[in-house]
Every structure is written in C-alpha cells, then in structure tokens.
Structure 1
Amino acid sequence: MPDSVPRINKRLVFMIAGVAASGGLLFGFDTGVISGALLFLKKDFALTPHAQEWLVSAVLLGCIAGAALSGRLVDVLGRKAAIIGTACVFAAGSIWTGTAGSVPMLTAGRVVIGLAIGVASYAVPLYLSEIAPPENRGALVSMNQLLITVGIVVSYAVDDACASLDHTWRWMFLIGVLPALTLGVGMAFLPRTPQWLAGRGRRDEAMTILHRLMPGIDARAELDAIEQNRAREGTGTLKDLAAPWLRPALFIGVGIMFVQQATGINTVIYYTPTIFEMAGFGSATSAITATVGVGLVNVLMTLVSIRLVDRLGRKPLLSAGLIGMTLSLAGLALGFQFEAAVGPTLKWLTVGLLFTYIGAFAVSLGPIAWLLIAEIYPLHIRGVAMSLATLSNWVFNFIISVTFLSLTESLGKAGAFWLYAVVGVIGWFFCRMYVPETRGVPLETIEHDLRAGVRARELGRS
C-alpha cells in the first residue's frame, strides 16, 4: 500500500461517530428534561410526592424493557436500523408527552420514551465500538458517555429557556423532537457496521465499508479477523455466566452498578430543581437556572475523567470520587438537619455541594462503572454479561428514583441524604476490597486469572 494512502479515514470515522453518538445526547436530553418540567407538572396536575415519583420513574420501566429487548432487536435489525428506530420512537414519545392531557397519558408517553432509551443505551455504544478503528475505539465509545452528559445539560438549558413560556412543560417535551430528527436523518446516511454485515454473509458490503473507513489496511485480512472474533463472541448464556469461576466478575459488575445508582446520582439528575426548592430557592425559574450549572460541571468533569482514566487508573479515581461524593452527601444532610440555623445560606451551600457531588461522580463512577463491565468479562460471555449489568443498572435506577421523595417524607430531607452517604461509605469499601485495577491489563490476563480462581481485587496482577 503506498505511503500516501492514510491508514484510517479519520475525517469520515469521526463524522460517523459524531452523528451516531448524538444518540447519547438524545438519551441525556430525555433523561434530564423531566427535572425542570416536574416543577410545573406538579402544580398543573396537583401531583402528590408519590405521583411525582412515578411520573419521573415511568421512563425507567420503559428503559428496563428496552434494555431486555435490545440485544435481540439489534442483532436482527442491525445496529443502524435499530438506532433509526429508536430516533423515531424518541420523536413519537416527545410528541406524546408534549400533547398529553392527563397524568396517565403522560406516564404512558414516558414509558415509550424509556423503551427508546433502553435500546439506545445498548445500540449506540455497540455501533460505535464496531465502526471505530481499534486505536480510536476508546475515545469514540467514550464520546457517547460525554454526549449523554451534554444532553443532560442541554435539557436543563431548554427547561430554563422555556420556564417563562405559556404551557411551559409541553414545550420542554416537544423540543425533544428536534434532536430525534437529527439522529434519525443523520443515521440514514451512515453505513452499517462491517461486523453485522459479516455476520449476515454480506462480505462484499463489509469489504466496501472497511475500504472507506480504513483505506490503508488490508481489508480482506481485517474482515477475516472480524469473522474469527465473531466465532468466539456471543456464544455465552446466562447459565454460563453462573459458572463458579465467573462469579467474581458477576459480583463486580452488578455491585458497581448498585454503588453507582444507590449513592443517589439520579435523584440529582431527575430532582435537582426540586432539591434547590427544598433548600430555599423561591421560584421554579431560579431553581432551574441553578440546575444548568450542575449539568455543566457534569460535562466538564467527564472530560477530565476521559483524560485521567488511562493515566491514573480506575481505582484511584473511584476512591477519590466516592470520597468526594460521600462528603458532599454528608454536607447536604447536615445542611438540611440544621436548616433553621443555616438560614438563607442553605441554598448556596446546596449549590456548592451538588456541584462537588456531580463533579466527583462524573470523574469516577459515571464513566468507570461502564468501562469496568466492558473489561472484566471474558469475550465469549461479554455480550450477555454486559446486558445483565445494564439491566441491573436500570433496575437500581428505578428503585432509587421512585423512592426519593418518599424517603424525604419518611426520613426527612436530612435522613435521605444521610442514607445515600452511608451507601457511599459502603461503596468505597466495596471498590477497595473487590474491584481490580484494570489499567493496561490485557483482557486475556483477566480471563486467565478468573479461571485460576484469583481473588476479585487481584485480577490482572498475574
């Protein structure tokens, strides 16, 4: 191959990845938009705290169902078609929720949006991992996580912009149609992945795409390698995952998802304006404006994590992040516990502590939990194992989100944050005692150690 031919068509690869990763932006938008809308919905429909919890959490029931169906859908339809389908469902759900005339209709629309989020959370990273050249895979797959945080801050900004309009919450939901259309139309012009085409016997199409993406490589040899890898992948079942030698990896995967959710992250994502109102912000508009800052910190610290995770390692970032999160939660608990003594300062104390909390999460548990589940499972079981970990994440997310306001009523505002802080302490010990350091460790070494019965936190050290 002449030297003048670039090995990778980086411009094309990054353009494709940018369009596909906008599925993450849509995911983040429809996850975060409810936080501002809730302040107006509870007044328009006279929602009780319990009804608010179910309206927020309805999307997660759809996510659980979507995640459970996603593996089969993505294999049958293909990654590209599945993402286009989710964009259509996103758009339909945005119109449904924006025009709903009752709480049951609004809740049903939220479930529909959740179905799309559940499928997108699986299909988009898979598409990115298969379309990206190996040397760019980490950065391009991380782009999805980054755009989820961007989508959340965009949703907060939309909530802020719509707060003074008539029919406020309707506009907040309806604007979701625009990124949905962008994703659907953009994906229509992108190629299918070579891996999926090869699995369907469409070698000529796969070769053509490989030539476009990586003109400076031997496309035939690359396709042969893809087919060899496919022969090893996807043969595992849930029964295989229950094998004794895989239990440490299963425990780590489900455990890290529990810690990620049970430390209260989605009480912040879904209820930040509500928490700010609890702390003394006098109007919905000012509470939503303060929430935009939380979203910006989330984006900036995710960028920091992407830069540091392969330099400092997973465990140091997890340890530092959990300490920061736990101290922030304890500070919030103390602030609400001594609310009368703190006075008007409480609202600014809450802003600072939530900024610290979300920043600590974004640099640690946010991206690293997802990275770990991609690293600790052997290749033949990775697909089903990651699906189970993703499903458990949505289940824990639902449980935490549907109980937050009830906890503030039964335990008090301080009690709810003390509970999350205790989970943070437990999570720190869990990561310290069980989570291995996987930085720079070949995945084959981790599988070897699992088969040899090496203790969980020692995996990869052989």
Structure 2
Amino acid sequence: MTSPSCTAAQRDGAALRPVLGVTLVAALGGLLFGYDTGVISGALLAIESDFELSAFSSGVVVSSLLVGAMAGAAGAGGLADRHGRRPVLVAAAAIFTVGAVLAALAPSAVVLTAARVVLGLGIGVASNLVPVFIAELAPPRYRGRLVGLNQLMITFGIVLAYVANYALENVTHSWRWMFGLAALPALLFGIGMLLQPESPRWLALNSGQERARAVLARLRGHSDTAALQAELADMAATSTTRGNGARGAGRWRALTARSVRPAIVAGVGLQILGQASGVNTVIYYAPKIFQSSGLGSSSAILATVGVGVVNLLMTPVGMAAVDRFGRKKLLASGAAVMTAALAGLAATLAAGGQNSSCAWLAVLCVVVFVAAVATTLNVVVFIIPSELYPQRIRGTAMSATMFSNWTMNFVVSLTFLTLLDALGGPNTFALYAAVCALLTLFAIRRIPETRGKSLEEIERELASRTA
C-alpha cells in the first residue's frame, strides 16, 4: 500500500509540470526586468556621446528607470488585490512594449528619460507581482525553486543585455537597437499571460470556491478531490479567520496591524538592507568600476559580461539550495560572504593603484560578491516577502515592500558616483561591506524560516507570535 507521505509527494510531482509551464510564462516578466535594468550599463557610453550628457544628466537617465519602478511597485499591489494578478501582469507587458519602442526611437535625452520611466513602471509591476503570482500557484515543496525561476530569468535578462551591449558596441545607433530588442519578449509575455489562469488564492478570496477549485485542479494535475478540497478549505479558513474584504486605503492601514508587523519588518527590512549593500551598483556601473581599477574600456565591458555570466550560472545553485537549506540560513551565509568580498575589494583598491594585476584582483572580488549575491540574496529577496504576507493584503504589502526596494535602489544608484568621487573607491566599498554585515545580523534576528510550509501555515504562525 502506498503511504500517505508518498501519495503527497506524488501529488506534488504531478503538480510541478502544469505549474512550471505557468511559471515560465510569468517569469518572462523577470527577463524583461533584467534586460531593461542591465542594458543601460553598455548603452550609456553611446548615449552620452550622442546627446552630449553631463555626469548629472547621465545619472538622471540611469535613475529615471527607478522612478518609474517605484511608482509601478507602489500602484501594482492595490490593483492586483482588486482586479487579480493576471490582468495587471498583462498590462505590465503592454507597458514594457511601449517603453522599449519609445526608448529606441527617442530623439532627445528628455524623451529617452521619459521612456526609461515607462520601462520602470513595467519593472515595478513585474517585481511586485511575478513572485506573488508564482508563490500563490506553487505547491509548498517546490515554491522556493519556482519563485526562484523569476530571479533566474532576471539574471538571464541581464546577461542578454550585456551580450547585446558587447555585440552591438560598434553598430550605428547601437543603443537604439539595445533598447528596441526588448519589445519582442514583451509581446511574448503579454500574449502568454493572456493564456494563463488567475491565481487560485485570489479567486478563492474574491470569486468563490468553484472557480478557484477549477483552476487549482488544472494546476495540480490530479483529480484527488479530497486533496483539492483540503487545500481550498485551508485558503478559505485563513481568509475568514484573518478578516476578509479589506479595500483601498483599508489595505494600507492593515499593514500597521500588530499581527502583520513581523512580516512587514522582515520583508521591508530585507529590501532596504539588500539594496543598501550596493548590489545594483555592479549592474548599473560595472564598466565604470572596472575602468576605475585600471582596465581599458573594451576589457571593462568584457569583464562585465563575465560578471553577468557568473550571476546567471550561480542563480540555479541558489535555487537548488533554497528549498533544501531554507531561506534564513542561505541569506545569512551569503551576506557574510558578501561582506568579505566587498572588504577585499576595498582593500585591493586601496593598495593597487592602476596596475593590471590589482585590476584583475578587483574583478575577482566583484565576481565573488556577485556569486554570493546570486546564490543567496537575489534568490530569497523576492521569495521571502511573497511568502510572508496575509492573502487579503498580499498585493498591497508587496507594493510597500517593493516600493522600499526601488526607493533604496534609486538612492544608491544616484549617490554611487558621488560617493566614489567624495570618498574614493576603498571607502565607498568599505561602507557597503558594513551594510552587508548588518544584513547578516538582520537575517539571523528577523527573518523567519518558511521552507516547506503552506502560505496559510506561514500566515497563522506569524500572527500567533503577536497574539
């Protein structure tokens, strides 16, 4: 006779196949996130030449994406809680398409900046809702890896951007082609999402049990009525227990509730410290960092491609580890390695001057840092908040979380070059190393372990801590 645990494992295995298909389509939003974030690193040099930009104007072009991302992240959650995850993601695909075309055709820096804001809106929506959508579909056994696919696609998008930068470097109007290429995956994302089901958890809360049961049966890939009914009953019981029907401003007020506070502190704190570690300075300014350490322009761009490849290759390692070792341990260990790598980079820049051997040692420190980020922080940064928040306000809570992410990202990207000029490379990266040390302590003290638990179990456990 088959044991109950084996039966559960078999059901989870059957559920993986249909959910994986939906996840891959949704994760195209992550690919666009990565591509539109990373493409500026190689395009900026040509844009500066074509539009004769000052250092400040270049910073505005780069950071305008983040302004749009803040707005998109802030607004997406409320819309998704009211209208569903799927239609808002379809709208994000349309925004990505319009932004890519507008950027490619931009006749001036002002129009390009506006196009970057539009692209940022799409990124903000995708960063908010893609992890939530996947988490709400996934069986608990595979949820970490499935949500982690979003991060894998982000890193793949960044690598595609770096490769496009390198391949198109000497093409006339190269930066226009770099931006315009993103329109194709944006169209595929939109068409693909139109063919996908709505989140069964959102349906259970807003459209009734019958629609939720039909979608859940499709996603789980089995006809075990008892198992489906048990999962639906758990969703319904949690919604009823925690209060159903928060609307509009009420959802934002609900974020301050005592029962929600541990989740908000963990989710928002992770975003702030994760971004303040300087992780995205490598994505936005890698060629400039490598040039400042002594590499030539072509070598700096090629080294940046190498960094992107490391980021891509190490992400599946983190995906494999996150459901095996748990979110908390993975984050704490990774933040410790990040601290050591940035401290090493600071020491190398302080000792090396502009000689070639020290330049490549600096590249090695950056590679170690990126590898640690890819296997730990970048894998869990979207998984953890997508799991922590109560169903009734999950979209709104993710809006607050991702708004804090993009706001800190904006601050760091806007101030990085200023810090580099004012403090020098060694002191700037020593400062980021100190933030990574704080992130290590935060992970140990404030991040709850969610591995292997249903979203409803996590919600009940966090609420019980403040009861």
Give the 3 Å change call, closer, same or farther, for CA 240–290 of structure 1 in structure 2: same
CA distance in 1, matches of 2:465, 2:105: 52
Is the aligned partner of 1:95 residue 2:108? no
1:216 alignment partner in structure 2: 223
Cα contact 1:377–1:447 (8 A) shared by 2:
no
Is the aligned partner of 1:414 residue 2:426? yes
Give the 3 Å change call, closer, same or farther, for CA 83–372 of structure 1 in structure 2: closer
Q: Deviation digits for residues 207-242 of structure 1, max 9, x if unmatched?
A: 443343333222566555544444446647443433
TM-score by length of 1: 0.87
- Residues 115-130 of structure 1: matches in 2 within 5 Å? 115-130=121-136
Q: Deviation digits for residues 294-344 of structure 1, max 9, x if unmatched?
A: 11211222212222233334443333322221222222222332343x612
Q: Deviation digits for residues 156-209 of structure 1, max 9, x if unmatched?
A: 111111112111111110111111112112223223333444455366554443
Q: Which moved more, 1:421-430 or 1:172-181?
A: 421-430
User: Secondary structure of 1:126's match?
Assistant: helix
Which of 44, 50, 60 is matched with 1:44 structurally?
50
User: Secondary structure of 1:403's match?
Assistant: helix
2:195 alignment partner in structure 1: 189
CA distance in 2, matches of 1:384, 1:127: 13
Cα contact 1:39–1:274 (8 A) shared by 2:
no
Per the TM alignment, residue 422 of structure 1 is displaced from its structure 2 partner at its CA by 2.2
1:460 alignment partner in structure 2: none
Is the aligned partner of 1:447 residue 2:462? yes
User: Secondary structure of 1:364's match?
Assistant: helix
Which of 132, 157, 173 is matched with 2:179 structurally?
173
User: Secondary structure of 1:361's match?
Assistant: helix
CA distance in 2, matches of 1:229, 1:315: 25
1:286 alignment partner in structure 2: 299
Which of 263, 268, 280 is matched with 1:266 structurally?
280
CA distance in 1, matches of 2:156, 2:427: 31
Matching residue's letter, 1:103: A
Greater relative contact order (CA < 8 Å, ≥ 6 in sequence): 2
Q: Deviation digits for residues 280-301 of structure 1, max 9, x if unmatched?
A: 2322x43222212111211222
User: Secondary structure of 1:93's match?
Assistant: helix
CA distance in 2, matches of 1:305, 1:153: 17
Cα contact 1:63–1:114 (8 A) shared by 2:
yes
CA distance in 1, matches of 2:155, 2:135: 19
User: Secondary structure of 1:165's match?
Assistant: coil
Give the 3 Å change call, closer, same or farther, for CA 154–339 of structure 1 in structure 2: same
Give the 3 Å change call, closer, same or farther, for CA 45–350 of structure 1 in structure 2: farther
Which of 307, 322, 342 is matched with 2:335 structurally?
322
Aligned residues: 446
CA distance in 1, matches of 2:201, 2:191: 23
CA distance in 2, matches of 1:66, 1:103: 22
Per the TM alignment, residue 105 of structure 1 is displaced from its structure 2 partner at its CA by 0.7
Q: Deviation digits for residues 387-433 of structure 1, max 9, x if unmatched?
A: 32221111111100111111111222223212212222333333344
Which of 56, 60, 68 is matched with 2:62 structurally?
56
CA distance in 2, matches of 1:222, 1:445: 15
Is the aligned partner of 1:250 residue 2:264? yes
CA distance in 2, matches of 1:261, 1:147: 19
CA distance in 1, matches of 2:447, 2:288: 34
Cα contact 2:258–2:466 (8 A) shared by 1:
no
CA distance in 2, matches of 1:379, 1:210: 16
Give the 3 Å change call, closer, same or farther, for CA 420–76 of structure 1 in structure 2: same
Cα contact 2:200–2:216 (8 A) shared by 1:
yes
CA distance in 1, matches of 2:186, 2:409: 24
1:347 alignment partner in structure 2: 359
User: Secondary structure of 2:372's match?
Assistant: helix
User: Secondary structure of 1:280's match?
Assistant: coil
Matching residue's letter, 1:447: L
CA distance in 2, matches of 1:305, 1:435: 17
1:456 alignment partner in structure 2: none
2:255 alignment partner in structure 1: 241
Unaligned runs of 5+ in 1: 453-462
2:3 alignment partner in structure 1: none
CA distance in 1, matches of 2:263, 2:24: 32
1:113 alignment partner in structure 2: 119
Q: Which moved more, 1:66-75 or 1:131-140?
A: 131-140
Cα contact 1:62–1:113 (8 A) shared by 2:
yes
